[in-house]
Amino acid sequence: MLGGTLSTVAIREAASADFRAIASLSRGSNPAPVTAYPTERLKNAPACLVATLGEMVVGFVALDYSFYGNGFIPILFVAETARRSGVGTSLMRAIEHKCKTPKLFTSTNESNIPMRSLLAAIGFEPSGIIHNLDEGDPEVVYIRKAGARAA
């Protein structure tokens, strides 16, 4: 458990040895986020960053350009033991710097209050809603423009 010691967490590019740990992060929680964006896609993503605590991978984020040619964060995942400690914020800030387009998008289910709160706290703005991906739980699309992103 992190216990709020964000200073001991490092953010770096994912190495080939990290993908086994990434795949196992969802064990013990809902595996949908990791299986929805398979490891092979992570390996081929323009950017994939991991958060580590010592030698242990405690979170990851990916960036691609699949959303109409714009930067898109298809997945952010933080181990349950590392949540609410700043790991997600650190990963999102770091991936923002990797984006090469003026617009950076991401999305989450309307019911995912922790992620929606994180996005609001770091300056992402709602940009639209997609219905019928998950029945009864619309996907909310968010944007952060280059001028608003962390310098």
pLDDT given at position 85: 87
pLDDT digits (tens, 9 = 90+) for 58-116: 999 999 999 999 999 999 999 888 888 899 999 999 999 999 999 999 999 999 999 99
pLDDT of residue 151: 46
Give the three-class secondary structure for 77. strand
Q: What pLDDT is stored for residue 36 in this prediction?
A: 62
pLDDT at residue 1, as a whole number: 45
Domains of the chain: 6-148 (3.40.630.30)
Q: What is the pLDDT of residues 4-48, one digit of tens each?
A: 455 588 999 999 999 888 888 866 555 555 556 678 888 889 999
List CB contacts of 42: < 8 A, sequence separation 6 or more: 14, 19, 22, 48, 60, 62, 75
